Structure formats: C-alpha cells, structure tokens
Amino acid sequence: MIALLAFVTPRVAGAQSGATVVSIQNARFQLTRTDNVNGVLAVAVRDPGLGNLLRSIGAAIQWHPGESYIVVTAPDRRVITLTLGDSHINVGGVLQGLPFVPYTDGGEAFVPFDAVARALYLAPSHEANEQIELQPLLSGLEVVRDGQRTLAILHGGAALRFRRVLDRPDRFEIALPGFASRLDPVQRIGAPGLESLRITQRHTAWESATVVAFYAGRDSTHAILPGPSTSELVIAFAPRGVSLEGPLPAARAARIPLRPAVAPVALGNAAPPLSSPVPLPTAVSRATPTALPAIPEPLDSAAAAATPSPPAASVLPAAPPPAAHVTGYQIQPVDDGIRLTLKVSGTATYEWHQLRDNRFYVDVHNALLDLAPEDKGLDQNIVAVRTVRVHQFQKTPEPIVRVALDLGADDRVTVTPGAGTLVLFAPGAPVVGVRIGSGRLGPTFADDSTADGALAESGLTVAGAAAAAQTQPLAAGTNPKLIVLDPGHGGSDPGAQNPAAGLIEKNLTLEIAKHLRTILEGEGWQVVMTRDSDKDVGYAFDSDKVELQSRADVANTRGARMFVSIHINSFTSSVLNGTTTYYYKPQDLALANSVDRALSGLPTKDDGIRKANFYVLHHTTMPSILVEVAFLSNPDDARLLQSPAFIQEAAQDIGKGIDSYAGSNSGGSSVLTAPQSAGDVGDAQEDGSKK
C-alpha cells in the first residue's frame, strides 16, 4: 500500500465539467467519472459508461483497489495492461508511451481514454461539447493455408458487419461500413484459391466504408465461415471441388499488423508483458505489393508447443518507412465549393476529421511539406469554403502535414486517394454519416480502376441506381385503410439488451407489434409489418441507412395511411424510465398526440411527445411516429416488460391512439398541419442511424 502512494493523483489542468458522451456505431455512452490531465481526457476504470462501452464491442477492463495493474481484454483476446505510476501501456507485449501515468484519486484508478481506445483499434475524434466519436479500425489480417484451403481472417476493433458488394468466382468484394483501415492496401497472396487482395477506403454522401476485394482464379470458390468472435470475419477460398467447410486450424499465422501509432520501445522493467510476443515472419509483416509473402503452413499442437518463444528483448522497433513528400496543391472552384488536389510523392497514410464547428482537416502521416506553409483566404463567391491552410503540423516524433478547411457551414467534405494525389471535394452539401475516416495513398493505386475514387463495382452506386429504378412511392394515404407497423431491429441487429432480465429489444418490439396487428385487423384495418419474424428487413449486416430505408420503403411504396415504429429504450444509467412518443414531420404531430394520450394510462412514467429526426420518421411520406414503450435498462420498467399483460396493454393503448386519430381525421387527407400552439418538444436527434 505504501508503494501506491506515489501514484496518487497528479496535479491536473482542471476537472472535466459535466459528462463526456462517446459515440460508436450509432450507440452512445456517457462517461461520468472523468478528469482532465493537461488537456488529456482521463476516465475512471470503474466508470459505468466505460464498462458498457467496452462490453458493447466485446472487451472488458478490470482493476481492484490496492493493485497496481489495470488489465484490458480486447475482443480478439489480446491482453492490454497499464500500471499505476508507469508511463507506458503494454499492448500484447509491446510497450507504447502514454500522455500521462495512470493514477488513483478517491479510490478510483484513472487511465488515458484515447490510449485505451487506440489499443483496442478505435480511432477517437474529439468534438465540441465534450463529445467523442470512435471509429473502429480494420485492425489485422491473417492468411492461413490449410491444405488446399486458404483462410483470410479479418480482425476489427468492433463487430465486423459487412455488405457484399461483388460476388463472382474470380472476385469477391465486401464493404465494412464505418470502418477505416491502416493496413497495406495491396497484399499478394499466391495461395490456393486466392491470388491477392486490395483494401481501399471509399466515401459516399451517406457513409464511409473500408472495401476489401479478394482476387481469385475463375475456377475458385469461396464461402464465409463462422468466426471465433463477432470482431473476426473468416472467408475460405479454394479451387473448385475442394471442400470449404471445416474448423479453423488450432495454430494460425500471425496477422499482418498495423503500423503502431506510437513507436514501441524496448521492454524494460517498467511493466512485464503477460506473454512473450512472437515476431512476425518478415514476408508477412511487410507484405509489400512487389514481394510474394510465404503463407505459413499451420503447425500441429506438438510442434507449436516445442517451439520456444523468443525473449521479450528480441522485439525491436521496426525501422520507419521513408517519409512521403507533399510537393504541391491545386484549388479548383466547383459551383459553390472547391476541389483541392494535394500532390504527394511516396506512400503515406491519412486521417480526416469533420468537426461540428464548421472545420475540417486531414492529416497526412509520415509526410514532409516541400513548399512554404500557406493560409489562403478564398473568393467570397465560394460560400462552401472560406479559407484553406496547408502546413507542417509536426516534425517529430512522426512528420505530419495537415490541410485544414474553414467551412461556411457544417458541410461535408469527401476524401479520395489516388495515384500520387489526395483529392478533397467540398461541394457545399450537408454532412451525412460518419465524421472521421482514414486510408492510404501512393503509387500502389496507379493500376487500380478506381484510383480516382470512382465507385466502380462497389455496390454503393449500384444501390443508388437500383433505388432510382424502383417504382416511385405512392402518395401518402392513397390506401386509407393500410397501417404499416415497424418492429424495431431484428435479425443481425438485436437492439438494446438486458441479459440479467432476459430482455432483448428485437424480441419485445416484435411481440408488441404482433399483438397490435391482431387488434387492428379485428377493427377492420389492413396491416403490413416490416418484419413478422426475427429477420433483417433488408440484408443481414446492411448499413443503417440501407436497413432503415428498406423499412420506410415498405410504407412509401404501398401508400400507407400511417406508419408506427415500435422500440424499447435503454440508457447507460438505470435511472431513466418511462414511455415516449416521437414525431418529426408536421403531419406526424396529431397522430403522436393521440397515441401519447392513450399511452398515458400505462404504469410507466409518461414522458410525453418529442420531436426527433429519426430516419424512418424523416423518410416516410405519411403520418409516422416512433414509440419507445419503456426502458429495459431501468429495473422497474424491465419488470413490466417481462409481463405478458403489460405487453398486451401497450399494444392495446397504441391501438386506441390510432383509432382516436383516425376517427378525428376520417373525412379528410391524412396530411395534417400541426397547431401553432404546439411547439417542438425536444431537439432533433438522429438522421440516418439506428436507435
């Protein structure tokens, strides 16, 4: 205990005021036990929001008062340790520097939040009002030869939800929405059924995605196999006729690693690693486009046991690659915006951030600026961008060139890597989707048909074309007896969960919707449900926008009179409880009022109605509402949700509200004008993302 006294709180610049909200993959978590150490966010190890955040990605953190070690278990089974009073974090046996030493204060251990996030392959982006967005990274790649079968195993910093973009015998391409990658963009494989692969970052108006393209012979076949965890995706390749099924080999090749954000240091006595790391084979660890890496054969268990692990001291920092050079840039006015082309020689990685205070910047890592820094004001007729600044952000420990844009509004900027260029396009259109991304640029893109950032065969433009070719939606209310019920979540998306109470949102919403359908059909309504079983409305693991648009399309293409989406609420704090009815469009308000009045009889707190920019409310053409029946994270509400009588009562009350609304508007159009006395109850909250 005496030894721990040295690790009591260091003097800091000032405590955090209020809670910090962290967003990842459309989920939000509130950190309440935070501190500010010289401008760096510190979080208590036992902060409930941190625990919930880590559990959501399959990770965990543990520390007991009186102990000096803090242990983080990653989704991919890596062990990460921090030590009170030590300025390093041990990530799988490799030490990296920390901005401050972990310390204790008031019986709590505090650690640097960003350092822990990056060790879990989550890229943090700090925004105004104490908000942080985390973007998961494609963190590793294994290629394992298993007889005549080749396994490609992708690892992510969170659950790897993917979308098939192209599926041919000679080429298989998947998109990982919301993920970024710092892996080498081109990997030559030369194994049975798999010749090479290419990793690119592609951006559209509604999402940023990492796209992985696997190139195989025309006589090859492939299949997606069950992975060890949701953060690992296993794809098997083989010549046609060879079985793809079978368990994963017990011993596997090491993954192709990320270049660490902080150079590792030689292991000393500061924090002993929990296991001795095995150095990667040289060919695999570098995996350059011109080198053909040897694919290690799987070892049997006896051989693996007999192979001694090298001492920790044998792990040496890799020599840094030669720096790229930014040799110039060009600005072209395009309507109200600009296209800025950055000229880069050599290979580099980049990371961009779209801030909420009308600023955008992109950092080109391991790059030197070969021209004088510039802070350039643009013509006042270019309303989308006011100024452009190009400068050497830092020279050590890693040279970074930063390009910053001062925007005229919170408008989006697209980033497209090419052969020796990085193109920023600011068209003056609103931001939609993620606000952080990363990728690579350099000459390896020169032979790629999509080097200029086009989305050929990506499926992202194909989806848009297919949507445009669909039958145009009917006018709202052209089928006056039809109601569309939308049970939230389903299939690959479970929604909120309370394992202790045995509650899963997708099951509860479906149960309420089925009861409500029976009630409404008994009263003469026609009812269509966006799903009537545990399934996705679109395709499994589709992006949020595609899934939610599929739900809106069910109502729009049928000309439904009403659209009712049913959800169960949840929050990181168990205090919040109650029933809330949301609306967005003016014509939604009368329906929301009627249903809210009917739901006020439930044995839950009446939270009233609120205006929120939920995607399904925004993109349906008829009166629409979204009902949050209760909080499964609240003990009292959870007990109610376990009761079949409460489920039936909730369905009956929603039905009563619908009947009341229909009775008061039976003679006219379903498009109503909100009364002037009824203002917005709450702020716009979400657009294009799941609850």
| Spatial CA neighbour of 273 closest among 116, 86, 142, 99 | 86
Neighbours of 279 (CB within 10 A): 12
Angle between helices 505-522 and 644-664 (to 10 degrees): 50
**Residue 636: DSSP 8-state:** H
Backbone angles phi, psi at 589, to 5 degrees: -65, -40
Give dist(CA 73, CA 207) in Å, integer: 30
Q: Which residues are catalytic?
A: 628
Burial class of residue 683 (count of CB atoms within 10 Å of its CB; 0-12, 13-18, 19+): exposed
Interacting residues of 677 by C-beta distance below 8 A, sequence separation 6+: none
C-alpha angle 641/647/650, rounded to 5°? 110
Give dist(CA 620, CA 563) in Å, integer: 8
Region label for 101, one of left (φ > 0), alpha (ψ between -120 and 50) or beta (otherwise)? beta
End-to-end Cα spacing for the chain: 45
> How far out from the chain centre does Cα 122 lie?
9
Question: Do residues 561 and 485 touch, judged by C-beta distance below 8 A?
Answer: no
Give dist(CA 112, CA 404) in Å, integer: 27
| Spatial CA neighbour of 396 closest among 423, 422, 420, 368 | 368
- CA distances 659 to 421, 481, 520, 595, 652, Å, are 60, 12, 9, 9, 11
- CA distances 66 to 85, 159, 531, 648, Å, are 13, 34, 52, 51
Backbone angles phi, psi at 178, to 5 degrees: 85, -10
Pairing verdict, β 27-31 and 324-334: unpaired
DSSP string covering 334-385: ETTEEEEEEEEES-EEEEEEE-TTSEEEEEEETEEE-S--EEEEPPTT--SE
> How far out from the chain centre does Cα 475 lie?
35
> Tokens representing 8?
């009591």
Give dist(CA 668, CA 534) in Å, integer: 37
Specify the residue for token string 């294994």. 142
